[in-house]
Structure 1
Amino acid sequence: MATLASQVVFHPTVSQSLKFGATTLGRDKTYRAVQYFARFLGWYLLRKGDKLEAARWTALKAHLGTARKLMRLGKPMEHLQAALRACFSPGPAAETITTIARQIGYFGYLTYDVVVWANSIKFITLSPEMAKRVAKTSFRFWFTGIAFSLISGVLKASRLAKEAKRLESTKSWGEKDLADEAAREVKLTAVESARKSTRQQLVIDLLDIWIPATGAEILNINEGALGIFGLISSVLGAKAQWAAVNGKK
Structure 2
Amino acid sequence: MVCDTVVYHPSVTRFVKFLDGSAGREKILRLLQYLARFLAVQNSSVLARQLQIQFTTVRKFLRFLKPLNHLQAAAKFYDNKLASDNVVRVCSILKNIFFAAYLSLDQINLLRILKLIPVTALTGKKVPRWSNWCWLFGLLSGLVMDLRKIQTSHVQIATFLNANSQNQAGEKEDHKKALGKAYQDRYASLRRLFWDATDSFIVLNNLGYLSSNEEYVALSGVVTSILGMQDMWKAA
Alignment match, 2:69? 78
Q: Distance in 1 between matches of 2:122 and 2:100?
A: 23
Give the C-alpha shift of residue 27 in structure 1.
1.6
**CA distance in structure 2 between the aligned counterparts of 1:153 and 1:91, rounded to whole angstroms:** 15
TM alignment of 1:161-240, pairs within 5 A: 161-171=154-164, 173-175=167-169, 178=170, 180-240=171-231
Residue 117 of structure 2 corresponds to residue 124 of structure 1:
yes
Listed as ranges, the matches of 1:1-249 within 5 Å are 3-46=1-44, 54-89=45-80, 90-127=83-120, 130-171=123-164, 173-175=167-169, 178=170, 180-245=171-236
Deviation at 1:4, TM superposition (A): 4.4
Q: Give distance in 1, aligned partners of 2:87 and 2:168.
A: 39
Q: Percent identity?
A: 25
Q: Give deviations 1:85-130, integer Å, cap 9, x for gaps.
A: 2223313333222222222211211110111111111222232553
SS in 2 for 1:220: coil
Amino acid at match of 1:147: L
Kindly tell me: are residues 129 and 108 of structure 1, through their superposed partners in 2, closer, same or farther at Cα, counting changes over 3 Å? closer
Provide the TM-score with structure 2 as the length reference.
0.89
Alignment check: 8 A CA contact 1:143 1:209 kept? yes
Structure 1: gaps of 5 or more residues? 47-53
2-side partners of 1:100 and 1:16: how far apart?
A: 31
Helix, strand or coil: the match of 1:97? helix
- The aligned counterpart of 1:51 is none
Q: Which amino acid aligns with 2:229?
A: A
Paired residues of 1:146 and 1:205 also in contact (CA < 8 A): yes
The CA RMSD over aligned residues, in Å, is 2.0
Q: Is the 8 A contact 2:23 2:62 kept in 1?
A: no
Counterpart residue identity of residue 116, structure 1: N
TM-score by length of 1: 0.85
Separation in structure 1 between the aligned mates of residue 69 and residue 234 of structure 2, nearest angstrom? 22
Task: Give yes or no for contact 2:108–2:123 (8 Å, CA) kept in 1.
Answer: no
